[in-house]
Amino acid sequence: MRTVDWDYQNQSLLLIDQRLLPGELRVAAYSDYHEVINAIQEMVVRGAPAIGVTAAFALALAAYRSSASHTTEMLRNLSIAGDELIAARPTAVNLKWAVARVLAKAHEAPGDLDQLRKLVLEEALRMADEDVAINQRMARHAAELIADGDTIIHHCNTGALAAVDWGTALGAIRMAHQQGKRIHVLVDETRPRLQGVRLTAWELQQYGISFDIIPDNAAGYYLSSGQAHKVFFGADRVAANGDVANKIGTYMLALAAQDNQVPVYCVAPTSTIDLSTAMGTLIPIEERPPNEVLNIQVDGKSVAPTGCTARNPAFDITPNRLISAIVTEKGVVYPPYPENLARNIGLIES
């Protein structure tokens, strides 16, 4: 089952509602791009690759539901929809990448509205299929960094649920498992939305991969005691210099790993690499509603005292000096990142 899919019969977008997992596996249908924007913001769908392809399908919905009478008007409507989609979650560059790619294809259409709609949908479908193939290639590269017997700390959720299918960092772990390597995963809770507990643990159960859930603040113990051999995570944006914006808590995890000489690997497709952003400090960091922190309960009772305030950044920046390698579908990239990332993407000849 794909995280993001298209219903041909009803011309609608299908998304696994990740807010309900692991208790319930439900697929929600969307027929209006405004609904999809809300689904992205509310984290019905999440993960940089997944929301990129979701945005592409949202533009297809905008095209099919548009009442434009000519292509110029339709293209203007799609541009407006694209800007709204990009604003939904500003840190993940895949949104911007997907919107730009679909709009470029739309501008190739002749002066026929039906043909324009067809081109937009075909491009979104192509991107969905490409995502799966890209993730599998990336997983094969990254699995080479995993040894038989490794215990790996994994942060957030980067599996099939974070993409159309297969995933990024967790996809590499899945590939290593399928290759017969005996691995164990320490799954960070990933507070405050607990994507590790809810989603990564659920996926690992489906794959039959050995794991334990650990509190986020226990990672340092396992690293310093020699019980963890690698750290794997994904990315929502990789700057040109190799700084990585990823789920909050990644920076502290990478710091603890470096202090204990444990390799840190970021696994992300080239669509997540933003060479137009020079360094991580220039990446906008989304701040989510404080109730995601304040509404946490234990045994049915609120943890925070009444009247508290909270800050809730969704991401942090891990500087390139803390990252051992960045893995894309084109291979493993080692420092120096400014030159080698550009070469990996193909902007510099080898």
pLDDT in the model for residue 22:
97
Tens-place pLDDT, residues 232-279 = 999 999 999 999 999 999 999 999 999 999 999 999 999 999 999 999
Annotation marks residue 243 as catalytic = no
Bridge-based pairing state of the strands 230-233 and 151-154 = parallel
pLDDT in the model for residue 109:
80
pLDDT in the model for residue 111:
76
Bridge-based pairing state of the strands 325-328 and 331-333 = antiparallel
Residue 347's pLDDT band (cuts 50, 70, 90): low
5, 131, 236, 316: which one is catalytic?
Answer: 236
What are the C-alpha distances in Å from 203 to residues 25, 140, 149, 167, 273?
12, 19, 20, 11, 26
What six digits make up the tokens of 88? Answer: 């939904």
Residue 69's pLDDT band (cuts 50, 70, 90): confident
> Is the distance from CB of 43 to CB of 247 less than 8 angstroms?
no
pLDDT in the model for residue 254:
98
Bridge-based pairing state of the strands 237-239 and 244-247 = antiparallel
What six digits make up the tokens of 266? Answer: 């970021």
pLDDT in the model for residue 349:
55
> Is the distance from CB of 238 to CB of 268 less than 8 angstroms?
yes
Averaged pLDDT, 124-142: 98
Tens-place pLDDT, residues 310-328 = 999 999 999 999 999 999 9
In the numeric block, the tokens 């899945």 are attached to 174
Complete DSSP assignment for 181-248: ---EEEEE--TTTTHIIIIIHHHHHHHT-EEEEE-GGGHHHHHHTT---EEEE--SEEETTS-EEEET
**How many C-beta atoms lie closer than 10 Å to residue 261's C-beta?**
7
Which domains does the chain carry?
4-136 (1.20.120.420), 141-345 (3.40.50.10470)
Q: State the amino acid at position 58 in one-letter form.
A: A
- For all residues of the chain together, what is the average pLDDT? 96
| Sequence-distant (≥ 6) Cβ neighbours of residue 186 within 8 angstroms | 151, 152, 153, 154, 211, 212, 214, 219, 222, 227, 228
The residue among 99, 57, 53, 101 whose CA lies nearest residue 80 is 99
Tens-place pLDDT, residues 328-339 = 999 999 999 999
pLDDT in the model for residue 14:
98
Tens-place pLDDT, residues 100-118 = 999 999 998 877 899 999 9
Averaged pLDDT, 176-202: 98
Tens-place pLDDT, residues 192-216 = 999 999 999 999 999 999 999 999 9
Cα dihedral across residues 156, 127, 143, 333: positive or negative: negative
> Is the distance from CB of 324 to CB of 265 less than 8 angstroms?
yes
Complete DSSP assignment for 295-332: T-EETTEESSPTT-----BSEEEE-GGG-SEEEETTEE
pTM: 0.95
Averaged pLDDT, 289-317: 95
Bridge-based pairing state of the strands 12-16 and 4-7 = antiparallel
